[in-house]
Structure 1
Amino acid sequence: MNLSQFLLILRARRRIILITLLLTVVTTVVVSLLLPKTYKASASVLLNAKGLDPLTGVSVPGQLLPGYMATQVDIITSKNVALRVVDRLKLADNPTVQAQFQDATAGQGTVRDWLADLLLRKVDAVPGRESSVVEISFKGSDPQFVSAVANAFAEEYQRLSILLKVEPMKKASQYFDGQIKSLRDSLEIAQGRLSKYQQENGIVSVDNRLDVESNRLNDLSAQLVMAQGQAIEAASRQRMASGDAGQSPDVANNSLIQNLRVSLGNAESKLAEVGQRLGKNHPQYLSAQAEVDKMRNELNAQIKSVSGSVGNNAQIMRQREAEIRAALAVQKSRVLELNRTRDELNVLMKDVESAQRAFDAASLRSSQTRIEGQSEQADIAILNPASAPTEATSPKLVLNTVLSVVLGGMLGVGLGLLAEMMDRRVRAESDLSETLGVPVFGVIDWKENKVSSRTLGKPFTARRVRLN
């Protein structure tokens, strides 16, 4: 079928097409006038696009996720919000609604659930494109009712979002309360062990005491080195004094021995002088000899005494060295014991510090969670509340009429083509060649004559003959 054949069919079946079009348009107009008017009210809510908690100022990464807007739309159209709207508007308390519920469900279920399902069928939430605004719409036959329901959905969504954020915080706060009690007990136990250990070991401050004991150990080490040097020196002097006492510096530098040696020298000089003048048996010579022997005996006795004192000094030095070495060993043991005590005390102090840090962190988090659980701040704000619409959104008479013209025309064309297929007729010369499969040699253009007494019996008159 080419275009010319299609146009010829439409021309031949124009009556069916026009009747179908007219019936469609009339039916659409009548139905549009008979349908009840439907009103639509919309309320806009703004989500916090910055992703910041209004209380703590901490960034909320959940609001940056791609599915955040879709999640909010699901919350708006959830049954929980619808039930809250039913309770807010007190729809279940209306006797008329209760009667309608009994007629519709025969008493099965609850009025609240039935009303919530009805509201969810007429509510719609549409997020804005590339924005954080969500438009909540509701359709109904009463302008005041649809605006009230739209605003109720927006407000209950806002309250539910607060509840969804606050309820986990309250549960977390209860959890932290139990943890804080346990951590406080652990801290008290750790502090008790530390105090008991300090009391048992008499420790006030390990660091200061260790410094004192370390300084004392260093002093004893220095004294031991000095005592060892003095002992070695005293032992050397003792050996010299016990061997050749006259060469000992302690003996030679003794003032009394020096005086005795001078006196002995004078006495020997006097004896030599007397020996030159007198004989050995002379009383003066004997007296001088006795004086020299006396002086020599005193000198030897004094040398022996000084040598003995050097030995005693060496013995004292050795004893002092031994005492300092023993004191140093005791001090070392004391310092080592203090080091062990400090290590054990540090472990206990670290246990206390660890328990304190855990307790402080839990207390801080518990305080913050408790404050957040008591917060009524929401990251959702009502941008534009719904107002009662003045014009109905449906039925739209003009739009429906235009659509009925289009649909009626298409339906009429379809019916015309269907009628043509059921009663196929020759509309053009190409129909003969396609149907009969023979060539067309000529076409006669004719017109129907008007019926009159002169043309009776001659219905047609040939006007022109065209040969192919």
Structure 2
Amino acid sequence: MNYADFMAAMRHRWKLVLGCLMATLLVIAVWTFFSPRIYASSATLLFDSLASEAEGGAGAAPPMAMASVLGTQADIIRSALVASQVVRNLELEQSPAVIARWTDATGGRGDINSWLVNSLLTNLTVVPTRNTNVMAVQYQASDPEFAALVTNGFADAFVKTQLRLRTEPAKVYSDWFQDRTRDVRARYEETQARLTRFQQEKGLIGGEKLDVELSHLAELSNQLAAAEGAAADARARAAGGGAMSPEVQSAPGVVGVRAAVVAKAAEVQQLETTLGPNHPQLITARAALGVLNSELNQAVAAATRSLQVASSAAQLREAELRERLAAQRQQVLKLSGVQDQLAVLQRDVDAAKLAYDNVTQQLNGARLKSEIPQTNVSILDRAGVPFYPVSPNVALRLILGLLLGLGIGIGLAALLEWLSPRVRSSAGLRDSVGLSTLVDLDEHRRSRNQQARGAAA
């Protein structure tokens, strides 16, 4: 059958094609009319990537990481944990209608909560929006109000679950860090007490005693140097000529007596020139001169002894300072060893304090996380009651009915034409008998009609 015969057959059997089309549309209409209405309600959730990373201090998450986060959050929404929370929040297990549906579906066997969780998850759809931080949560049900109620229930339950997933581990960490803080604090107090006892036993106040002892050692060293110089000078004066040494002759006691001796000697010499040798006045003057010479000798001896005493005292002072310097050196060496032990104890105290500060800081952070009622997800749009069902799709079914009706009608017409073939064109006649046609009456008739219309015009 060529194209012309096919089109001619369709024109001839147009009532059959139209009847099939109308019958198919009628069946589609009846099917659509009796199909249950399914309503879909949607809510959108917004995930704040900056808030999720603020605690870690890493800034906004990269797109690939955020996509992974959204995928994880979608799995959490579809989890039995969130669905169970929805059942508890909405008290679905106590609804008579839900109990009746459960009884019809299971015959009253099994757990109604598990059945509700599976039923809710079956009709739940979670779709992350591409290249955004927004996620759509959709639930389908035959009751539009129930669909909106369950959708909002999933959104609220997810936010609460997200908060619980954040705060409960933080509370556990807080309790652990609190116990750890007590242990670290006890160690810190123990090391501090050990350091204090050591300082008290060694007579140390802070860390300044070694500096004081070193300063005292330097002072003794300077005093010894000065004492050595003074002792050397005293020895030089004591050994510088005895009674005729300049130090003895210039002594105050010697100078005064020597002046008196010189004056008395001059007086005796003058009296010897004027008086006789046995004159009482001359004898008295000579006796006084002898007394003065005796006093001069005593003064010289006293000055000499004074130099020797000063030399001995300087030597004793030098020896004493040497002993004190040696003892001070031993004390400094001893304190150096004590200072090393003190430094070790101080390092232990510093390490314990640092550990205590770190644990305290982590404890405060964990406690803060466990007490902040905030997550990185918020409900952007709550679900509303839908007005139009998403199923059945009337427009789609009409299109399918048209295509199916036309297909059935055309197929049935073609089948009848094949079972009872007819010649409906000159081309079909040529194909059937294998002979050429002399004239096509239909074409001749159409040509005459066209000529008649042209003449009338």
- Is TM (by shorter chain) over 0.5? yes
Does the CA-based 8 Å contact 1:206-1:338 persist in structure 2?
Answer: no
Q: CA deviation at 1:151?
A: 1.1
Question: Kindly, what percent of the aligned residue pairs are identical?
Answer: 31
Q: CA deviation at 1:150?
A: 0.9
The residue aligned with 1:356 is 353
The residue aligned with 2:244 is 246
SS at match of 1:308: helix
The residue aligned with 2:197 is 196
Pair 444,31 (structure 1): closer, same or farther in 2 beyond 3 Å: farther
Does the CA-based 8 Å contact 1:20-1:409 persist in structure 2?
Answer: yes
- Could you state the TM-score of these two structures normalised by the residue count of structure 2? 0.78
Pair 414,167 (structure 1): closer, same or farther in 2 beyond 3 Å: farther
Partners of 1:402 and 1:79 lie apart in 2 by 39
Does the CA-based 8 Å contact 1:38-1:139 persist in structure 2?
Answer: yes
The residue identity in structure 1 corresponding to 2:197 is: K
Q: Deviations over 1:242-262 (max 9, x none)?
A: 4xx4243x1131133234444
Aligned pairs (5 A) from 1:366-381: 366-381=363-378
The residue aligned with 2:303 is 306
Does the CA-based 8 Å contact 1:41-1:146 persist in structure 2?
Answer: yes
SS at match of 1:43: strand
Q: CA deviation at 1:154?
A: 0.9
The residue identity in structure 1 corresponding to 2:244 is: G
Pair 259,374 (structure 1): closer, same or farther in 2 beyond 3 Å: closer
Q: Deviations over 1:70-91 (max 9, x none)?
A: 2222222222111211222222
The residue aligned with 1:232 is 232
The residue aligned with 1:255 is 252
The residue aligned with 2:453 is none
Pair 138,184 (structure 1): closer, same or farther in 2 beyond 3 Å: same
The residue identity in structure 1 corresponding to 2:316 is: Q
Pair 203,26 (structure 1): closer, same or farther in 2 beyond 3 Å: same
Q: CA deviation at 1:317?
A: 0.5
Q: CA deviation at 1:298?
A: 4.8
The residue aligned with 1:326 is 323
Residue 35 in structure 1 maps to residue 48 in structure 2 = no
The residue aligned with 2:143 is 142
Does the CA-based 8 Å contact 2:4-2:425 persist in structure 1?
Answer: no
SS at match of 1:387: coil
Partners of 2:354 and 2:398 lie apart in 1 by 77
Q: CA deviation at 1:268?
A: 5.5
| Residues 260-269 or 303-312, more deviating | 260-269
Q: Deviations over 1:81-132 (max 9, x none)?
A: 1121122222233455445445545666522222211111211122334433
Q: CA deviation at 1:17?
A: 6.5
The residue identity in structure 1 corresponding to 2:176 is: Y
SS at match of 2:380: strand
Q: CA deviation at 1:44?
A: 2.4
Pair 240,443 (structure 1): closer, same or farther in 2 beyond 3 Å: farther
Q: Deviations over 1:380-408 (max 9, x none)?
A: 32232222222222213233212332455
Partners of 2:276 and 2:8 lie apart in 1 by 197
SS at match of 2:240: helix
Q: CA deviation at 1:357?
A: 3.4
Ranges in structure 2 where 5+ consecutive residues have no aligned partner = 448-457
Residue 127 in structure 1 maps to residue 124 in structure 2 = no
SS at match of 1:126: strand
SS at match of 2:127: strand
The residue aligned with 1:48 is 48
Greater helix fraction, Structure 1 or Structure 2? 2
Q: Deviations over 1:309-338 (max 9, x none)?
A: 212211110110111222223233334444
Q: Deviations over 1:136-195 (max 9, x none)?
A: 211111112111111111111111111111111111112112201211221221122123
Does the CA-based 8 Å contact 1:124-1:136 persist in structure 2?
Answer: yes
The residue aligned with 1:158 is 159
Partners of 2:435 and 2:32 lie apart in 1 by 56
Partners of 2:179 and 2:301 lie apart in 1 by 90
Aligned pairs (5 A) from 1:88-103: 88-94=89-95, 97-98=98-99, 100-101=101-102
Does the CA-based 8 Å contact 1:9-1:416 persist in structure 2?
Answer: no
**Which structure ranks higher in relative contact order (CA pairs < 8 Å, sequence separation ≥ 6)?**
2
Does the CA-based 8 Å contact 2:199-2:206 persist in structure 1?
Answer: no
Partners of 1:203 and 1:336 lie apart in 2 by 15
Does the CA-based 8 Å contact 2:254-2:300 persist in structure 1?
Answer: yes
Partners of 2:274 and 2:423 lie apart in 1 by 202
Does the CA-based 8 Å contact 1:24-1:404 persist in structure 2?
Answer: yes
- Could you state the TM-score of these two structures normalised by the residue count of structure 1? 0.76
Pair 197,410 (structure 1): closer, same or farther in 2 beyond 3 Å: farther
Two-structure CA RMSD over aligned residues (Å): 4.3
Pair 425,224 (structure 1): closer, same or farther in 2 beyond 3 Å: farther
Pair 329,389 (structure 1): closer, same or farther in 2 beyond 3 Å: same
The residue identity in structure 1 corresponding to 2:327 is: V
Q: CA deviation at 1:272?
A: 6.3
Partners of 1:7 and 1:59 lie apart in 2 by 77
- How many residue pairs end up in the alignment? 437
Partners of 1:285 and 1:130 lie apart in 2 by 142
Aligned pairs (5 A) from 1:264-279: 264-266=261-263
The residue aligned with 1:218 is 218
The residue aligned with 2:454 is none
| Residues 412-421 or 250-259, more deviating | 412-421
Partners of 1:199 and 1:18 lie apart in 2 by 115
